[in-house]
């Protein structure tokens, strides 16, 4: 049963994302508080599913690919839920949001064109961006506004998407859990890379 824990955590994130959208659509009382709690739980499942899988030595490529796909659905769901609550914020920042979404889509397009698979690099910089994105969305849920934090999130997102594209272009074969573009270069040269059991072992 313990070997199913990572899978349960991954799919629970999918459920949480859908629940956030439904509750936002229904305009339930104290939604911002509920959303922040559920979003936080969802992020914790994202952190611990990989850690637990590596500890149990069951971190397979299929599991990591599933993790990446569910992550995308989860964050799209959270963004849509936030949009339903705070449409003015999204409308006033539509250009930057469109650019960011475009760069995210570009990373997937490049990966599919080269490897016929989705991205599962789980780069360290992307993990940092996820935390910044988490903080930004928390602020939006709480206040329906974000200025400085949103700008940090936007530019960090662009830089990390560019790194992912660089990683994909450098890799000769599809590989999951590549910590950085430097590690992708080492793999291209046929050299082994050191992996951290906590983050990308």
Condensed to tens digits (0 to 9), the pLDDT of residues 86-99 reads 999 999 999 999 99
Identify whether residues 29 and 99 lie together within a single domain.
no
Would residue 49 count as lying in a domain? yes
CA gap 14, 172 in Å, rounded: 32
Task: Centre a 10 Å sphere on the Cβ of residue 97 and count the other Cβ atoms it contains.
Answer: 17
Looking at residue 112, its pLDDT comes to: 95
Would residue 26 count as lying in a domain? yes
Looking at residue 199, its pLDDT comes to: 60
Looking at residue 39, its pLDDT comes to: 97
In order along the chain (201 residues), what is the average pLDDT of each group of 10 residues? 89 97 96 97 93 86 90 96 97 97 96 92 93 97 97 98 97 93 94 72 55
Looking at residue 132, its pLDDT comes to: 97
Structural domain for 19, as ranges: 1-85
Query: To the nearest 10°, the Cα dihedral for 137, 143, 145, 146?
Result: -60
* Domain count within the chain: 2
Q: What is the DSSP string of 61-96?
A: HHHHHHHHHHHHHHHHHHHHHHHHH-HHHHHHTHHH
Identify whether residues 92 and 65 lie together within a single domain.
no
CA gap 111, 100 in Å, rounded: 17
Tell which of 67, 85, 103 closes a domain.
85
Looking at residue 98, its pLDDT comes to: 97
Identify whether residues 119 and 180 lie together within a single domain.
yes
Which residue from 9, 16, 68, 67 is spatially nearest to 40, judged by alpha carbons?
16
């Amino acid at each position: 049963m313990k070997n199913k824990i990572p899978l349960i955590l991954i799919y629970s994130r999918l459920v949480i994302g859908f629940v956030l959208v439904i509750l936002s659509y229904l305009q339930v009382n104290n939604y911002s508080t509920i959303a922040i709690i559920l979003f936080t739980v969802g992020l914790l499942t994202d952190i611990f599913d990989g850690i637990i899988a590596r500890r149990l030595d069951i971190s397979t490529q299929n599991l990591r690919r599933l993790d990446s796909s569910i992550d995308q659905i989860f964050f799209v769901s959270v963004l849509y839920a936030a949009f339903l609550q705070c449409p003015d914020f999204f409308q006033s920042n539509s250009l930057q949001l469109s650019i960011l979404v475009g760069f995210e889509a570009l990373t997937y397009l490049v990966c599919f064109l080269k490897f016929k698979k989705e991205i599962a690099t789980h780069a360290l910089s992307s993990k940092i961006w996820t935390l910044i994105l988490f903080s930004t969305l928390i602020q939006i849920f709480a206040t329906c506004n974000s200025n400085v934090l949103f700008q940090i999130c936007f530019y960090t997102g662009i830089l990390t998407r560019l790194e992912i594209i660089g990683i994909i272009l450098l890799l000769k074969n599809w590989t999951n859990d590549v910590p950085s573009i430097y590690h992708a270069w080492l793999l291209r040269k046929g050299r082994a890379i050191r992996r951290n059991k906590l983050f990308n072992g």
